[in-house]
Amino acid sequence: MSAISDLQEFLLPDEKIEGIVFGEWGYDGQSYFDEPNPPPVPKDKRGIVLTFDEAQQYMCGWTFNGNLGLPNCYSAYIWTNKRVIWVTQYDGSTTLDSAPRHPMNIMPDMPGG
């Protein structure tokens, strides 16, 4: 179980991570009580841009890809040279989603159920 692996598998060929910001565990802090103890992402590292090298140490022991129920991961924004990536959830089931970083011709999708 590794958010690093989840993210690396989600990346496109030649895509490079430029920055990551972690938010709270769960959504709107509602599943905060389920956050591992000690928390993988320290509170003083949330809400600030980290390089991928800095962020990797906080991305072990949890996954961006979760099952139904309360979300069991951190919210995040991840900037790459090609996209902006974030965690999306439906009924607590979480996965990574993205949009192109720059305007382009593309058919948008609509995550959810």
pTM for this entry: 0.91
How many structural domains are present in the chain? 1
- Say how many CA atoms lie within 13 Å of 31 toward its Cβ: 17
Q: Which domain holds residue 23?
A: 3-100
Q: Is the pLDDT of residue 92 over 80?
A: no
pLDDT tens-digit readout, 22-71: 999 987 655 555 788 899 999 999 999 999 999 999 999 999 998 877 78
Residue 15, Cβ density class (10 Å: 0-12 exposed, 13-18 middle, ≥19 buried):
middle
80 near 27, Cβ under 8 Å? no
pLDDT at position 74 is: 94
Q: Residue 107: inside a domain, yes or no?
A: no
Q: Residue 46: inside a domain, yes or no?
A: yes
Quote helix, strand, coil % in the chain, to nearest 5.
Answer: 20, 30, 50
Grouping H, G, I as helix, E, B as strand and the rest as coil, residue 58 is helix
pLDDT tens-digit readout, 10-26: 999 999 999 999 999 98
